[in-house]
Every structure is written in structure tokens, then in C-alpha cells.
């Protein structure tokens, strides 16, 4: 699979609007080359360079198999109109929480997973619960890295 954003190139700086210094909204994402037997998608966004360990910015799962993109500013609600569910991030909120590094430049990994099942997992799940539920069901994955440094 190939995961991209129209808002920033791979390994490039993320625009401020997608961070805590801006509107703090999720960036647009799009993907191609999906395996035929995909039943759902999940996305995890995290920052492995946070001072206290990997910081989770977004957990979203049970995205429909026919979906090939997410628009900018996915609403911060537990269940979306398309049936997808969002988990809790490390800001202890549902939905997306943008980059907000305390110092230096950080990498933000948007990880897309194609799954061979829809997950029996409740909205509000943590990254760890999602990873456990996805075990044995990942058929493909792709990573888009964005960078951010506060002024």
C-alpha cells in the first residue's frame, strides 16, 4: 500500500494547522494499492521521540474497506458516520491530537493497516488494545512520516 497526504510530502514538515500551534486538525490522507481481501483499515499516528516514550496522537479503526481517503479534520467523535471508531490518544481525548513537541524536531508516523476483518473493539480503545485486536489480521501496512518543530 502507499499512504500519502496532499498537505505534506513524506519526511517533510507538517503544516502548522495540523498541530497544537494551529487548528489541531487531522491532515488529509489517501492510500492506494490495497490488497483485494481487505475488510477494514486502521490508522495509528504516534511520535517515537517524545521524552516519556512513544506518544500516541491518533487511533482510528474499522474504516470501511472501500475507503481510500480521509478528509482533513476528521471530527473528534467516538463513531463516525461511515462506522469507523476512534480511540483515545495520549492527550486522553477521542480522535486526533496534533504534534506538540516540547523541544526539537520530531517525527510523526501515520501508520495505515489493511486488515482481513472488522475488529470487535469498542470506540475509545487505546493503541495497545488496537494492536492486540489487529494481531493476526494485518494483511498490509504503510507508513507516512511527517516532521514538526515548534518555533
C-alpha grid cell for residue 71?
A: 478528509
What is the chain's mean pLDDT, rounded? Answer: 97
For domain 2-149, the CATH architecture is: Alpha-Beta Complex (3.90)
**DSSP result, 14-76:** PPGGGSTTTT--PPPEEEE---TT--EEEEEEEETT-TTS-EEEEEEEEEETT--EE-SS---
The ranges assigned to domains in the chain are: 2-149
Which pLDDT belongs to residue 139?
A: 98
Report, as an integer, the average pLDDT of 95-124: 97
Q: For 70-105, write each residue's pLDDT tens digit.
A: 999 999 999 999 999 999 999 999 999 999 998 999
Which pLDDT belongs to residue 83?
A: 97
Say whether pLDDT at 17 is over 90: yes
* Closest among 45, 49, 16 to 29, alpha carbons compared: 45
Model-level pTM?
0.97
Amino acid at each position: 500500500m502507499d499512504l500519502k497526504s496532499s498537505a505534506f510530502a513524506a519526511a517533510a514538515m507538517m503544516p502548522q494547522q495540523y498541530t497544537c500551534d494551529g487548528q489541531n486538525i487531522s491532515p488529509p490522507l489517501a492510500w492506494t494499492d490495497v490488497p483485494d481481501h481487505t475488510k477494514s483499515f486502521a490508522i495509528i499516528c504516534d511520535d517515537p521521540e517524545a521524552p516519556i516514550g512513544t506518544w500516541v496522537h491518533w487511533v482510528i479503526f474499522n474504516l470501511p474497506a472501500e475507503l481510500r481517503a480521509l478528509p482533513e479534520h476528521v471530527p473528534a467523535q467516538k463513531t463516525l458516520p461511515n462506522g469507523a471508531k476512534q480511540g483515545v490518544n495520549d492527550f486522553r481525548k477521542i480522535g486526533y491530537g496534533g504534534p506538540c513537541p516540547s523541544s526539537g524536531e520530531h517525527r510523526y508516523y501515520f501508520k495505515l493497516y489493511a486488515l482481513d476483518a472488522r475488529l470487535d473493539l469498542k470506540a475509545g480503545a487505546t493503541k495497545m488494545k488496537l494492536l492486540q485486536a489487529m494481531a493476526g489480521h494485518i494483511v498490509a501496512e504503510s507508513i507516512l512520516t511527517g516532521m514538526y518543530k515548534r518555533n
